[in-house]
Structure 1
Amino acid sequence: MHVFVRLAGVSAILLTTGTCFAADRMKPGLWEMSMKSDAVKAMPKIPPEQLEKMKQMGIKIPDMQNGGMTHKVCLTKEMVEQDKPPSGGRDQQCQSKNFTHSGSSYSGEVVCDMPEMKGNGTIKGSYTPDSMTSIYDFKGVSHGKPISQHMETTGKFIGSDCGDVKPPPMPQKK
């Protein structure tokens, strides 16, 4: 479960990475994101009673099936207008490195240096105002065990109103 939580956190970083540079930015609002990854494929099924406890704690569980998961994400105007890749936030120590862009395509690295997870990843992707795709590969160590992850993400814009979906936390400015 720890890898899933970290993967979800890293996905928030990766989701906003593509919004950073181009004139044709992704639209702010509600997005449906679908991820397929090795971690989701290998994850054991969570028992219904544990899922219920997680929901009672306010944890939103994405729809998971066929080695993938789908969830909704709210992107704010601030997120899509940022002029640099996001860091991992206050509670994560994954950092964006060596990002490049050309038109609506981007690539770069993610470096994680946390007690629970250390390693390096690469990301490449493209986007339009209404859609995005990315491919992420990561190799490292999580909780003392070697990991090698591959994740493919697609996203589509649903609408400008996020409803009850809250945006992921933005990193604090230093």
Structure 2
Amino acid sequence: MKNALMKTRTVVPQLLCAAFLLAGSALAQAQNIKPGLWEIKMNPQLSPERQAAMAQAQQQLAQMPAEQRKMMEEMMAKAGVNANLATGAMTLKVCITAEQAALNQLPVSSQGNCKHQLERKGAQILNRFSCSEPELSGEGTTTLSSPEAYSSNMSTVSRAGGKTETLSVQSQGRWLSGDCGGIAPMKTSK
């Protein structure tokens, strides 16, 4: 039981980091998108080993006492995260303020120490990045289809415990509302 949850603990932060990097890629040219609440749906391509660990973790979550599971699900929902541990699919809600959109800066997670190289080619944004916390590098392409929608493909390589793992993530982002509700705005790099 512990082993599956521990394996899951390494991929969930990696997926969250990828989500913020994807959001950052898409929002880097913020004058082309609307500020407000965005939904990002991520679908990772997991290795068979990772899929098995995630499915086992999903089963363990289902076996938790109802009160403990509900508390965990509420905590994730408050942060705008909905994850299916069996498949690795994740839906993340992020808030972009009008000020962030006007600044045209890259919103990033406060976790990790990441450096980005962004290049804009028409409706596409190319993002190459490297992070030290967690140790992660990769590149992605985001295609803006409108001020309210984008799609993105990202490939990452993570290193932890002497192991290297490659993860590919496809995502779609869509604007939901000008009001972020209870979702806190993303942190913006300075």
- TM-score, length-scaled by structure 1: 0.79
Q: Distance in 2 between matches of 1:168 and 1:143?
A: 29
C-alpha RMSD of matched pairs (Å): 2.6
SS at match of 2:76: coil
Is there any run of 5+ residues in structure 2 with no aligned partner, and where?
1-8
Offset at residue 84 of structure 1 (A): 4.3
Asked whether 1:72 is paired with 2:93, we answer: yes
Offset at residue 82 of structure 1 (A): 3.3
Identify the residue that residue 93 of structure 1 maps to in structure 2.
113
- Equivalence map 1:5-16=2 (5 Å): 5-16=13-24
CA contact (8 A) 1:125 1:135 kept: yes
Identify the residue that residue 109 of structure 1 maps to in structure 2.
128
Offset at residue 51 of structure 1 (A): 3.6
Offset at residue 133 of structure 1 (A): 0.7
Amino acid at match of 1:80: A
SS at match of 1:112: strand
CA contact (8 A) 2:30 2:105 kept: no
Percent identity, aligned pairs only, is 22
Offset at residue 6 of structure 1 (A): 3.3
Q: Which moved more, 1:2-11 or 1:27-36?
A: 2-11
- TM-score, length-scaled by structure 2: 0.74
SS at match of 1:161: coil
Asked whether 1:121 is paired with 2:138, we answer: yes
Offset at residue 88 of structure 1 (A): 5.0
Offset at residue 7 of structure 1 (A): 2.2
Q: Distance in 1 between matches of 2:30 and 2:97?
A: 16
Identify the residue that residue 30 of structure 1 maps to in structure 2.
37
Q: Distance in 1 between matches of 2:90 and 2:14?
A: 14
Match of 1:134 among 130, 141, 152: 152
CA contact (8 A) 1:19 1:82 kept: no
Offset at residue 144 of structure 1 (A): 2.9
- Residues 5 and 51 (structure 1), Cα distance of their counterparts in 2 relative to 1, 3 Å cut: farther
- Residues 142 and 124 (structure 1), Cα distance of their counterparts in 2 relative to 1, 3 Å cut: same
Match of 2:11 among 3, 9, 24: 3
